[in-house]
Amino acid sequence: MAKTASFKNAPWMRDAWYIACEEKALKKKPLALTLLEEPLVLFRSSSGKVAALEDRCPHRSVPLSKGRVCGENIQCAYHGWQFGGDGVCRLVPALGDKMEAQKARARAYPVREKHGFLWVYMDAEKPPASEPVGFPLREVKSYQFFRYEMDFDAGMVATAENILDVPHTSFLHKGLFRSGKLKPIDVEIRNHADRVEAEFFGEPRPKGIVGSILAPGGGVVRHVDRFILPSLAQVEYALGPYSHLMISNYLSPINRDVTRMFSEIGFRLPVGGGAVKRIVMPLAKRIADQDYDILAAQQETIEKFGEERLFSTSADVLGPRILQLLKRASKADSKPLRRTNQKLTMYV
Ligand code: FES
Ligand SMILES: [Fe+2]
């Protein structure tokens, strides 16, 4: 694997669920946001139903998000036309009871509320073929959860690669996460129809305070990084018999250059959640800031040079595979992803 096609112009799946925002971010006023380059307006009707429409009034193309909620409808701020959650025009005040604008429809996207988030299905043309999967381990007792949200100045594939890439951790996050002294570890890469994953063997227990929190008794580390269609970048750590950490990062492409990440850490550890909050979360924040800066620098350089140059080697285990998976899922490339198990040794 040497050359890699563009991450920046990677396709994204439209017929899939993406997180738009936290449920509590949608208050009484309509909320404007962008997903997959589509300006959307979300609103909650008086009876509590959430709807997502394209943020454009069919009458004169004024953003509907400038309007207000009126019972079950959203009302445009310009001439007061009202639209239901299905996007159909229900009232043209200047015409009184006469309805001649039912055909003036705003595109409506399916919405669901799950695990405290609003999920939007980004294909308005057909009904969703599935329901949002949500976050894992929610139903399992004895797990605790933390969540955070962050924007990256980078496309979705570059962001997913960064989250799941191991070699950079010895350099960019040296001292925080890995010692910087390179040691061989074995990797098994697995391609499936809906995901690609890399499992690492022989990884030593993290050093220092983090290691003693995660696995006070030492033990073998099981580490799997995976990307699941359409946009979940997941890092799983199991240390010893009891400790288990699942970091699930749902990526919502705002456009080709900005990706919003909704993350949840689900964990079961021999220490209380308080220690994790005090020690692990600030560390995770520092690591995320380093990643933010390096991705922004990568993006800036691509823009400065006017082209994206990527040269991958076999140690770039997931980035090129994520790209391939997305191309296939969005039918930009019909070549099937070979269901292989591949092994290699890398130094991290
Ligand atoms: S532009 Fe929306 S009602 Fe006229
Ligand atoms: Fe990183």
Answer whether 17-121 and 144-347 agree in fold: no
The pLDDT of residue 296 is above 70: yes
User: Is the CB of 62 inside a 6 Å radius of any atom of ligand 1?
Assistant: yes
The CATH class that applies to domain 144-347 reads: alpha beta
* Ligand index nearest the alpha carbon of residue 101: 1
* Ligand index nearest the alpha carbon of residue 57: 1
Evaluate whether 246 touches 268 at the Cβ level (below 8 Å): no
d(CA 239, CA 267): 11
User: What pLDDT shows up at residue 209?
Assistant: 63
The pLDDT of residue 1 is above 60: no
User: Is the CB of 101 inside a 6 Å radius of any atom of ligand 1?
Assistant: no
Higher pLDDT, residue 58 or 7: 58
**What atom of ligand 1 comes closest to residue 64's alpha carbon?**
2
Tell which phi-psi region holds residue 28, choosing left (phi > 0), alpha (psi between -120 and 50) or beta.
alpha
**What atom of ligand 1 comes closest to residue 61's alpha carbon?**
1
User: What pLDDT shows up at residue 336?
Assistant: 60
Residue with tokens 């959650």: 85
User: Is the CB of 76 inside a 6 Å radius of any atom of ligand 1?
Assistant: yes
| CA-closest residue to ligand 1 atom 4 | 79
Task: Name the nearest CA neighbour of 85 among 140, 142, 41.
Answer: 41
* Ligand index nearest the alpha carbon of residue 165: 2
**Residues near 289 by Cβ (< 8 Å), separated by ≥ 6?**
none
Evaluate whether 32 touches 54 at the Cβ level (below 8 Å): no
Q: How far is CA 115 from CA 7, 88, 139, 264, 290, in A?
A: 30, 29, 11, 11, 28
User: What pLDDT shows up at residue 260?
Assistant: 98
Question: In degrees, to the nearest 5, what angle opens at C-alpha 318 toward C-alphas 348 and 341?
Answer: 95
Q: Helix/strand/coil (H, E, C) string of 149-203?
A: EEEECCCHHHHHHHHHCCHHHHCCCECCCECCCCCEEEEEEEECCCEEEEEEECC
| CA-closest residue to ligand 1 atom 1 | 60
Q: How many CB atoms lie within 10 A of CB 131?
A: 12
Tell which phi-psi region holds residue 209, choosing left (phi > 0), alpha (psi between -120 and 50) or beta.
alpha
Name which of 42-56, 156-170, 269-283, 285-299 the model is least confident about: 269-283
pLDDT, tens digit (0-9, with 9 covering 90-100), for 18-31: 999 999 999 999 99
User: Is the CB of 93 inside a 6 Å radius of any atom of ligand 1?
Assistant: no
**Sheet strand arrangement including 73-75:** 68-70, 73-75, 82-83, 89-91
User: What pLDDT shows up at residue 117?
Assistant: 98
Mean pLDDT value across the chain: 90
The pLDDT of residue 141 is above 90: no
Indicate the domain borders of the chain.
17-121, 144-347
Name which of 143-147, 205-209, 284-288 the model is least confident about: 205-209
d(CA 146, CA 153): 23
**What atom of ligand 1 comes closest to residue 81's alpha carbon?**
3
The pLDDT of residue 2 is above 60: no
* Ligand index nearest the alpha carbon of residue 169: 2
Sign of CA dihedral 210, 214, 215, 216: positive
User: Is the CB of 79 inside a 6 Å radius of any atom of ligand 1?
Assistant: yes
pLDDT, tens digit (0-9, with 9 covering 90-100), for 298-346: 999 999 999 999 999 999 999 999 999 999 998 766 666 666 678 888 8
Q: What is the mean pLDDT of residues 255-264?
A: 96
Band the pLDDT of 96: cuts 50, 70, 90: confident
The pLDDT of residue 269 is above 80: yes
Q: How far does the centroid of ligand 2 lie from the alpha carbon of residue 291, in Å?
A: 5
User: Is the CB of 78 inside a 6 Å radius of any atom of ligand 1?
Assistant: yes
| CA-closest residue to ligand 1 atom 3 | 79
The CATH class that applies to domain 17-121 reads: mainly beta
User: What pLDDT shows up at residue 177?
Assistant: 67
Q: How far does the centroid of ligand 1 lie from the alpha carbon of residue 82, in Å?
A: 9
pLDDT, tens digit (0-9, with 9 covering 90-100), for 151-191: 999 999 999 999 999 999 989 998 776 666 788 889 999 99
pTM assigned to the model: 0.93
